[in-house]
Amino acid sequence: MVTVEQVRDALRAVKDPELNINVVDLGLVYEIEIGDGGTVHVEMTLTSPGCPAGPEMLTEAQGVLAGLDGVSKADVELVWEPYWTPEKMDPRVRSLLWG
Q: Delineate the domains of the chain, giving CATH numbers in brackets.
A: 4-98 (3.30.300.130)
pTM, to two decimals: 0.93
pLDDT at res. 69 = 94
pLDDT of residue 35: 95
Contact 12, 25 (CB under 8 A): yes
Average pLDDT of 46-70?
95
Those residues with Cβ within 8 angstroms of residue 40's Cβ, 6 or more apart along the chain or in another chain: 2, 7, 32, 33, 34, 65, 68, 71, 73, 74, 75
Using CA atoms, how far apart are residues 11 and 46, in angstroms rounded to an integer? 14
Q: What is the mean pLDDT of residues 64-90?
A: 95
What's the pLDDT score for residue 61?
98
Average pLDDT over residues 22-27: 97
